[in-house]
Amino acid sequence: MSTPNTTLRADVLVIGFGKGGKTVAKAMGRLGRRVVLVEQSSRMYGGTCPNVGCVPTKALVHHAGKRRPDDPPQEWYERAVGSVRTLTRLLRSDNYDALNDADTVTVVTGRATFVDPHTVEVGTGPNRLAVVAETILINTGAEPIIPDVPGLRASKRLVTSTDLIQTTELPQRLVIIGGGFLGIEFASIYRRFGSQVTVLEQAPKILGRLDDDVAAVATGILTGEGVGIVTGVRVMEVRDDESATTVVYEQVGRRHTLEADAVLAATGRAPATGDLGLEAAGVRVTARGAIVVDEYLRTSRPHIFALGDVNGGPQFTYVSLDDSRIVLDQLTGTGTRSTTDRVAIPNTLFMTPPLATVGITERQARDEGRQVKIAGELVADIVAMPRAHVVEETRGVMKFVIDAETDEILGAALLSVDAQELINTVALAMRHGIKAAELRDAVYTHPSSTEAFNEVLGTIIR
């Protein structure tokens, strides 16, 4: 085998430009360490979030919500995608410059493959580059899973979430395979842009991890906007013809068909580890391809860490950011911070209005044998929340699960305007042991969404 033309030596090598990796790279560069960051695509500087994830999808949520009934769907959508592209280009450039302009950080574009525990090669053929480092961080993220449905992979109308947000043509008929958070978010976005949307979900209902009462309100909002939701189905086949794609599914023993202009596979994302050559580094992976890590994010090779989606943990940008804190504590701190320190990590589904949750559900609490009290109210009935009426978004529900003996907040589900912000207050209260009564009796600005807590937490419904 020929040797690479050039060899770079670094204190820290980061593979992948994701949130966790780039944060560690920047911090170590500021400390004067020699850092090399390898990213396989020039379109992914900054990672998934600013390019194909959080930022563009939430920008589309915003633009879809601004469309009025008389605005032409295709024109509005094309204009929205153009605006989102401008935003992502700006963020991509800013992310690249923030690292590559540092004296001690070098950004290399190309695919990295391990050749031994301390060395990767980037590129192929005569232009190969070797990077040798004492410490290595793997931050390559995750990639969409395409379900094994006959005809689906070969369909010219198959799209992933990445494909869909980058096309300027609004699908008139969109079929979404998968009714999880990703599928529901895209259903909400594209229905509001004007697409005819149908969600096919294998489970008996969508949002099955939520309590039935919260899921029912969310489902009612979606169907009220015209999203078709078909549950308990098995997708059998996907067939292309010249003008459309036919999706064949089975429900209760009967076969049905749908015609689509685009078929979105929204059945999850798997860690992107397939081409890294991890066996050459001696790095172990799970059956699903996730890199095995301990609570300090060290792999089976102690000098190699795995951050973000690639380690099989929660697939959230803010978790990847917290991963960076753990790794930095290992490299420059006391080495005591770990994943076990995480308490009350919230998440948000950006349908309209957003659905944010933290902690455990009522069902989980009762299954654990806890004595609980439930506080909850439909947003339209919360007198102390005039903001919902001011912004003309009164749909939704707020629900808290509270320990009946200690008044500890065990969990919350907030389906309402500003829920993505409200949930952070609840999570902070849970982390610091603030009781439900304290959150109920706190002084909040007016008119705000937060002041809904004054009323809802005083309403024990069971």
Which string of DSSP letters, residue by residue, matches 292-361? P--TT-B-SSTTEEE-GGGGTS---HHHHHHHHHHHHHHHHS-S---GGG-----EEE-SSS-EEEEE--
Torsion of CA 295, 296, 299, 303, to 10 degrees: -160
* 53 annotated ligand-binding residue: no
Q: 314 and 257, same structural domain?
A: no
- The mean pLDDT of 363-375, rounded to a whole number, is 97
Among the listed ranges 80-84, 121-125, 318-322, 453-457, which one has the minimum average pLDDT value? 121-125
In the DSSP assignment, the letter for residue 416 is S
pLDDT over 50 (residue 106): yes
pLDDT over 90 (residue 5): no
Residue 235 lies in a domain: yes
Residue 375 lies in a domain: yes
Residue 61 lies in a domain: yes
Cα–Cα distance, 245 to 258 (Å, whole number): 8
Catalytic residues, by residue number, are 446
* 180 annotated ligand-binding residue: yes
In the DSSP assignment, the letter for residue 310 is G
Q: 357 and 321, same structural domain?
A: no
Among the listed ranges 3-12, 312-321, 425-434, which one has the minimum average pLDDT value? 3-12
* 268 annotated ligand-binding residue: yes
Question: Are the beta carbons of 265 and 238 closer than 8 angstroms?
Answer: no
Residue 440: count other Cβ atoms within 10 Å of its Cβ.
Answer: 17
Residue 149 lies in a domain: no
Q: Which two tokens stand for residue 101?
A: 């302009």
Residue 462 lies in a domain: no
Cα–Cα distance, 366 to 211 (Å, whole number): 11
Domain boundary among 214, 244, 267: 267
pLDDT over 50 (residue 1): no
Whichever domain contains 379, its CATH number is 3.30.390.30
Question: Are the beta carbons of 292 and 271 closer than 8 angstroms?
Answer: no
Q: What percent of the chain has pLDDT over 70?
A: 99
* 185 annotated ligand-binding residue: yes
C-alpha of 74 from chain center: 27
Model confidence pLDDT, tens digit, residues 142-178: 999 999 999 999 999 999 999 999 999 999 999 999 9
pLDDT at 127: 79
Model confidence pLDDT, tens digit, residues 12-29: 999 999 999 999 999 999
Q: 429 and 327, same structural domain?
A: no
Q: 14 and 113, same structural domain?
A: yes
Cα–Cα distance, 321 to 156 (Å, whole number): 36
pLDDT at 2: 58
pLDDT over 90 (residue 125): no
- Range of 189's domain? 158-267
Cα–Cα distance, 184 to 225 (Å, whole number): 12
Q: 139 and 29, same structural domain?
A: yes
Cα–Cα distance, 38 to 108 (Å, whole number): 5
Q: Is the pTM of this model over 0.85?
A: yes
Q: 359 and 332, same structural domain?
A: no
Cα 331 to Cα 56, 298, 311, 320, 460: the distances in Å are 33, 11, 19, 17, 48
pLDDT at 3: 66
pLDDT over 60 (residue 298): yes
Q: 287 and 434, same structural domain?
A: no
Cβ contacts of 420 within 8 Å, gap of 6 or more = 348, 350, 354, 356
Q: 359 and 248, same structural domain?
A: no
Which pLDDT band holds residue 124 (cuts at 50, 70, 90)?
confident
* 184 annotated ligand-binding residue: yes
Q: 170 and 119, same structural domain?
A: no
Residue 150 lies in a domain: no
174 versus 462: the higher-pLDDT residue is 174
Cα–Cα distance, 432 to 451 (Å, whole number): 20
* 201 annotated ligand-binding residue: yes
CA angle, residues 199, 203, 204, in degrees to nearest 5: 95
- The mean pLDDT of 227-253, rounded to a whole number, is 97
- Give the pairing type, strands 196-201 and 173-177: parallel
Please count the residues of the chain: 462
* 362 annotated ligand-binding residue: no
Residue 280: CA count within 13 A, CB half-sphere: 14
Tabulate helix, strand, coil % of the chain (nearest 5): 35, 25, 40
Phi-psi region of 433 (alpha: psi -120 to 50; beta: other; left: phi over 0): left
Residue 253 lies in a domain: yes
- The mean pLDDT of 322-347, rounded to a whole number, is 97
Cβ contacts of 240 within 8 Å, gap of 6 or more = 151, 154, 155, 156, 157, 246
* 309 annotated ligand-binding residue: yes
pLDDT over 70 (residue 442): yes
Q: 223 and 208, same structural domain?
A: yes
Peptide bond into 346 cis (omega under 30): no
Q: 26 and 125, same structural domain?
A: yes
- Residue reference for tokens 């911090």: 27
Mean pLDDT of the chain: 95
The count of domains in the chain is 3
Peptide bond into 314 cis (omega under 30): no
Helix 181-193 vs helix 212-224: crossing angle, to nearest 10: 30
pLDDT at 72: 95
Residue 166 lies in a domain: yes
The dihedrals phi and psi of 145, each to the nearest 5 degrees, come to: -95, 130
Cα–Cα distance, 330 to 97 (Å, whole number): 27
In the DSSP assignment, the letter for residue 458 is T
* 66 annotated ligand-binding residue: no
pLDDT over 60 (residue 122): yes
pLDDT at 38: 97
In the DSSP assignment, the letter for residue 409 is E
Among the listed ranges 1-15, 71-85, 159-173, 314-328, which one has the minimum average pLDDT value? 1-15
Model confidence pLDDT, tens digit, residues 247-284: 999 999 999 999 999 999 999 999 999 999 999 999 99
Q: 237 and 306, same structural domain?
A: no
- Give the pairing type, strands 6-15 and 35-39: parallel
Domain boundary among 281, 315, 341: 341
Domain boundary among 292, 317, 341: 341
- Give the pairing type, strands 105-109 and 35-39: parallel
Whichever domain contains 290, its CATH number is 3.50.50.60
